[in-house]
Structure 1
Amino acid sequence: MAYQALYRTWRPQKFADMVGQEVVTKTLRNALITEQISHAYLFTGPRGTGKTSAAKIFAKAVNCLHPVDGEADGTCEICQAIDQGTLGDIIELDAASNNGVDEIREIREDVNYAPTLAKYKVYIIDEVHMLSTGAFNALLKTLEEPPANVIFILATTEPQKIPATIISRTQRFDFKRIDANAAYERMVYILNQRGNNYDDTAVKVIANAADGGMRDALSILDQALSFGNGNVTLDNALLVTGSVTQTLLGEYVMALVEHNSKRALAKLTEVLTDGKDAGRFIEDLISYARDLLLNTEAPDLISLVPDDNFKQLAQEQKADTWYQMIDVLSETQQQLRFTNRPSIYLEVLTVKLSRLNQAGVAEPQAVVAGNSATNVHVNTETTLKPLDDSNDGTVIETDNVAPVAEQPIRIAHKASTEKKHIFEVLDAATRGDLNRLQAAWADILAQLNVSQKAILSTAKPVAASSNGVLLGFDFEIFRDKTKKDQGLVDLLNEQIRKLTESKDERNLVLVTNEEWPDIRNQWIQQHRKNKPATESAAAPEAELAATDIPEQNESTQDQTIVQAAKDLFGDELVEVKAD
């Protein structure tokens, strides 16, 4: 008999064999035991997590002549026919290659005929999101009025592409990524059953590389067994997965935290020379930094055996170091998807990581005006001398160097979320500045690329002054992403300056729309206490919603503030409530 891949040979034959999907399997088994069987199911989740296997197991169990606790007995006539693939009542359809209306219409005609041997006809449609619009409409008719002896099981990795009308007529089960420990235990079980020799660490490397897919884990294991003539060694696992040894990772990270970019680049060269995959290298670094972060908080969750380098790093470095490193690594991981020269990104990444400190990226803060995409660091009196062999990452300054360019030099803009900076904008904010910014906001967004527009799609100006802009975001994640994107911050400043015809640069301050009312009210109270009445004529944007100002027994100062807000923003924008 021809050799079969491990993922086919060891495909689960019953719910108890499935790995990492306990909620799904328990629910399906209980439905079978209580005979609460739906006419349509939707199985969603990442590839290789058991969707199709669960569909086949369910089809066998629902038709088994002698089921036991919701499981097929595997010995009856129906079970054996299903195992041999000779039962015509179980129909599998790949929607990727059969996505037309004609195929679905054929199903609509076939469902009207009773099953030949089994109790139910079961249609398993894999990658159902690939069906055309017409095919979905044809399928919908069948799902609306299904025959009593027909069950549909739809499987997909992209449920967002399925019409809501289809989803609403199914019972949906979400399959999760399989935990690395669960994948490891399953592979160890298979290796023990086969009698193969294996290195425990090698199997863990494969489990981590599979990224939550059991099928991927078994495919990689198959490769490692073939490469090692039936044995699974650590070297073979690293070669097959493209992963980097823990020792090399530790030496690379050690060089980074010591700010020794020269030695770190040398370690990177070793990685690239060995032909390691750039994406896998970054994933390994993220996992390594994650383990260092969890070492002090939850050592049971780390995925490796600590060596000397790991122990030293965990002892000497603060958690902030690993937070910052993971942020930078995640950003570079996204950039790698759009380049054919990953080695350049890795070299830039190495230099950037070697300059991290506990306050962020530690280097001069000046940038050449007009070059927001590159952020070239310069100084009017000093410049950075290239690293030489004797320099272990220390920046050496040399005096009396000619300026790099004659362009004007300005300080890099930073976006802030601090309350004191919000108050600074509000102290000087005016309705005129806000009106000009709101009028130009659509044009400002039009100058951004698609990803930048997506980030700012739910943001809008809520206050503005001659030197500051306060943006309100619907979602905290977009606010934080904007704050971290220096290129976007610089571009926003430049477009705001141009399109509002302002001579001055403006500081960006970011706030969520959820917290904005509370912060605004806090500022109003502080403004009333600290500002004399004569200064209230320029009462800023925050005063337009003076919800905390009492209607009766107001002081002269309070009345002046409210009147100034009315003069600036109009009566219709001011709501006055009594305490």
Structure 2
Amino acid sequence: MAYQALYRVWRSQRFDDLVGQEAITRTLKNAIAQHKTSHAYLFTGPRGTGKTSAAKIFAKAINCPNSVDGEPCNHCEMCQAITEGRQEDVIEIDAASNNGVEEIRFIRDRANYAPTTAAYKVYIIDEVHMLSTGAFNALLKTLEEPKEHVIFILATTEPHKIPATIISRTQRFDFKRIDTQVIIKRLAFILDESQISYEEAALPVIARAAEGGMRDALSILDQAISFSNETITLSDALAVTGSLTTEMMDEYIGACLAEDVSGALSALENILAEGKEARRLTEDLLLYCRDLLMYQQAPELLDETKQLTDAFKNLAENTVSVRLYQMIKILSETQNEIRFTNHANVYLEVATVKLATAEKNQSAYIESEKESGPSVSSQELTALKTEVQQLKNELQQLRNQGIAQAAPTEEKTVNKKVSSNYRLPTEKVYQVLSEATKNDLQQVRGVWEDLLMALPVTQRAILKASEIQAAGPNLVLLVFDYEILCQRAEADSDLQLNLQNSLSMMVKDYTPDFVYIPKENWPRLRQAYLSQHQDEPQENTDEMPEEISLPVEEENAVVEQAKSLFGNLVTIKED
């Protein structure tokens, strides 16, 4: 006979074999034993947690003539026929490929007839969330008026896609992810029964990689058996799952905690050179930092299967918990970021620099945690009191001298600008403002979020710090929060091309050029344009954007805000 995968060979045939779902199996067994079964069930949960297996066991148990305490005998003709898939009264359907109205109507019509040899007709519909709206409506009619001899078992990994009218007519059972320790015990049992030798340290690696799914665990175990040389070793499990060795994590985390940026980046390069997958890498590092915390706070709760090296114990004993909290936060953010990018290595390198420099960024706070001495906090408190008193004195001086005397100093401060190398495209800005219309502005703003999502992640990150201020038939004005981003956008020719191509697909026959300026220059350019054109008749006032055509209202708002802050000290002077 041809080789069969482990998850097929060791598929649960009794409720007691279904590991990790004791509450569900007990409920189903009692319902069968007490003859209190429902006409429809909904099994939901992550992949590989036993939904389909439970449905088949249920179909055998309810039709088995030798059933004891809700368990099938698995020896009679009925049980064997259902196990082998040749019992015509137990029909298993894949809704992913049979999701139309006609298929469900065919099932509904067949359900009107009594079963041929079994006591109940059992319909197992897998991935039921894939059914179309019409198919759900056809199924709903059958669930509303069920036949006594028919039972429906619906299985899905995405219950939120199933209509509430369907869910309300079923008994719902939520299958949970299987605990790692339970998976380890099951893997050990299977290997012992199969007479395959293994190292105990290899099983936790496989179990964690399965992420709570027994089927995934057996598939990984199958790969490890094929990869290994008679005995499944820890190195075999690490190679198959793409996980990190303890020594790799010791070296990497140790370099980060020692603030050795170069060493940490070198360790990361070695890890990636061995073909480690980015998502698995960040997950292993998160678990490593979590184990450091557990070893510090509650070592008795740490997994007994963990192999604690001397380097691990040394790091745990010499690292404050606040530092580990920071590292876990950085790694968690990186894990979310690499899910949506094709440049995972870049995010990992950035995360490595953050991990190795987090101590410097919050050195004062961490130092206070280490020493726990009153001298540091008292010095900080004294410094803060001194600064507050100085601010009070300066404020009182301003009130005594009047706001008019303080104005020259403020003007000097405002006029003191940092020199900039960016050359403003003043003529193009004026051209945008002269041609700008509300209609064009609203069109571009309406598709802006969709347009950003169509761009590569690096270009999207640049444009996230920008805002559309004006748009016309030929030009669109983008104002950036930071000058450095404005310069990068101007230098990126691909960005201009991508913007035009994406915009032309979202707004028909609209391919304007984009003009970039820093935010700090926008008010001055706008005011200069308005001053030059204030005597010209505004024929297209209704078409101009509000940001350009209503400067007076903005000035009035500033004046009112100044009055509310300073009261009678404000003196209004006309330009």
Distance 2:451 2:290 in 1: 27
Q: Does 1:285 align with 2:285?
A: yes
The one-letter code of the counterpart of 2:242 is G
Which runs of structure 1 show a deviation greater than 4 angstroms over 4 or more consecutive aligned residues?
Answer: 358-363, 403-407, 445-453, 485-491
Q: Deviations over 1:516-541 (max 9, x none)?
A: xxxxxxxxxxxxxxxxxxxxx969xx
Q: 2:21–2:175: 8 Å Cα contact kept in structure 1?
A: yes
Q: Using the TM superposition, give the Cα deviation of residue 76 of structure 1 relative to its aligned residue in structure 2, in angstroms.
A: 2.4
Q: 1:355–1:362: 8 Å Cα contact kept in structure 2?
A: no
1:338 aligns to what?
Answer: 340
Q: Using the TM superposition, give the Cα deviation of residue 230 of structure 1 relative to its aligned residue in structure 2, in angstroms.
A: 3.8
1:349 aligns to what?
Answer: 351
> Paired residue for 1:311, among 310, 313, 323?
313
Q: Deviations over 1:469-509 (max 9, x none)?
A: xxxxxxxxxxxxxxxx9998999x989x98xx999xxxxxx
The one-letter code of the counterpart of 1:233 is T
SS of 1:211's equivalent? coil
The one-letter code of the counterpart of 1:339 is T
Q: 2:56–2:83: 8 Å Cα contact kept in structure 1?
A: no
Q: 2:44–2:173: 8 Å Cα contact kept in structure 1?
A: yes
Q: Alignment length, in residue pairs?
A: 404
- Counterparts of 1:368-407 in structure 2, within 5 Å, are 406=421
The percentage of aligned residue pairs carrying the same residue is 56
Distance 1:250 1:487 in 2: 39
| 1:490–1:262 distance in 2 versus 1, CA, 3 Å | farther
2:201 aligns to what?
Answer: 201
Distance 2:273 2:356 in 1: 21
| 1:333–1:452 distance in 2 versus 1, CA, 3 Å | farther
Q: What's the TM-score once normalised by structure 1's chain length?
A: 0.64
Q: CA RMSD in A?
A: 3.5
Q: Using the TM superposition, give the Cα deviation of residue 40 of structure 1 relative to its aligned residue in structure 2, in angstroms.
A: 0.5
1:248 aligns to what?
Answer: 248
Q: Using the TM superposition, give the Cα deviation of residue 278 of structure 1 relative to its aligned residue in structure 2, in angstroms.
A: 1.1
| 1:447–1:290 distance in 2 versus 1, CA, 3 Å | farther
Larger radius of gyration: 2
Q: Which runs of 5+ in 2 are unaligned?
A: 366-417, 423-441, 454-460, 468-478, 482-517, 525-562, 566-575
Distance 2:451 2:23 in 1: 36
Structure number having the greater helix percentage: 2
1:55 aligns to what?
Answer: 55
The one-letter code of the counterpart of 2:256 is L
Q: 1:352–1:361: 8 Å Cα contact kept in structure 2?
A: no
Distance 1:20 1:487 in 2: 48
| 1:264–1:26 distance in 2 versus 1, CA, 3 Å | same
The one-letter code of the counterpart of 2:208 is N
- Counterparts of 1:420-459 in structure 2, within 5 Å, are 449=449
| 1:67–1:297 distance in 2 versus 1, CA, 3 Å | farther
| 1:361–1:348 distance in 2 versus 1, CA, 3 Å | farther
| 1:205–1:450 distance in 2 versus 1, CA, 3 Å | farther
The one-letter code of the counterpart of 1:237 is A
Q: 2:50–2:175: 8 Å Cα contact kept in structure 1?
A: yes
Q: 1:184–1:203: 8 Å Cα contact kept in structure 2?
A: yes
Q: Using the TM superposition, give the Cα deviation of residue 450 of structure 1 relative to its aligned residue in structure 2, in angstroms.
A: 7.8
Q: 2:42–2:155: 8 Å Cα contact kept in structure 1?
A: yes
Distance 1:228 1:314 in 2: 33
Q: Does 1:298 align with 2:298?
A: yes
Q: Using the TM superposition, give the Cα deviation of residue 137 of structure 1 relative to its aligned residue in structure 2, in angstroms.
A: 0.7
SS of 1:204's equivalent? helix
Q: Using the TM superposition, give the Cα deviation of residue 78 of structure 1 relative to its aligned residue in structure 2, in angstroms.
A: 1.5
Distance 1:19 1:299 in 2: 28
| 1:343–1:193 distance in 2 versus 1, CA, 3 Å | same
Distance 2:271 2:220 in 1: 21
Distance 1:404 1:54 in 2: 72
Q: Deviations over 1:141-180 (max 9, x none)?
A: 1111110111100000111111111111111111111111
Q: Deviations over 1:249-290 (max 9, x none)?
A: 111001001110111111111111111111111111111111
Q: 1:40–1:169: 8 Å Cα contact kept in structure 2?
A: yes
Q: Using the TM superposition, give the Cα deviation of residue 225 of structure 1 relative to its aligned residue in structure 2, in angstroms.
A: 0.2
- Counterparts of 1:26-65 in structure 2, within 5 Å, are 26-65=26-65
Q: 1:7–1:215: 8 Å Cα contact kept in structure 2?
A: yes
| 1:405–1:252 distance in 2 versus 1, CA, 3 Å | farther
| 1:300–1:166 distance in 2 versus 1, CA, 3 Å | farther
Distance 2:45 2:258 in 1: 42
Q: Using the TM superposition, give the Cα deviation of residue 350 of structure 1 relative to its aligned residue in structure 2, in angstroms.
A: 0.9
Q: Deviations over 1:206-232 (max 9, x none)?
A: 001111111000000000001114421
Q: Using the TM superposition, give the Cα deviation of residue 404 of structure 1 relative to its aligned residue in structure 2, in angstroms.
A: 10
Q: Deviations over 1:402-446 (max 9, x none)?
A: x99657xxxxxxxxxxxxxxxxxxxxxxxxxxxxxxxxxx99x98
1:321 aligns to what?
Answer: 323
2:211 aligns to what?
Answer: 211
Distance 1:296 1:210 in 2: 27
Distance 1:278 1:249 in 2: 14
- Counterparts of 1:208-287 in structure 2, within 5 Å, are 208-287=208-287
SS of 1:337's equivalent? helix
Q: 1:320–1:358: 8 Å Cα contact kept in structure 2?
A: no
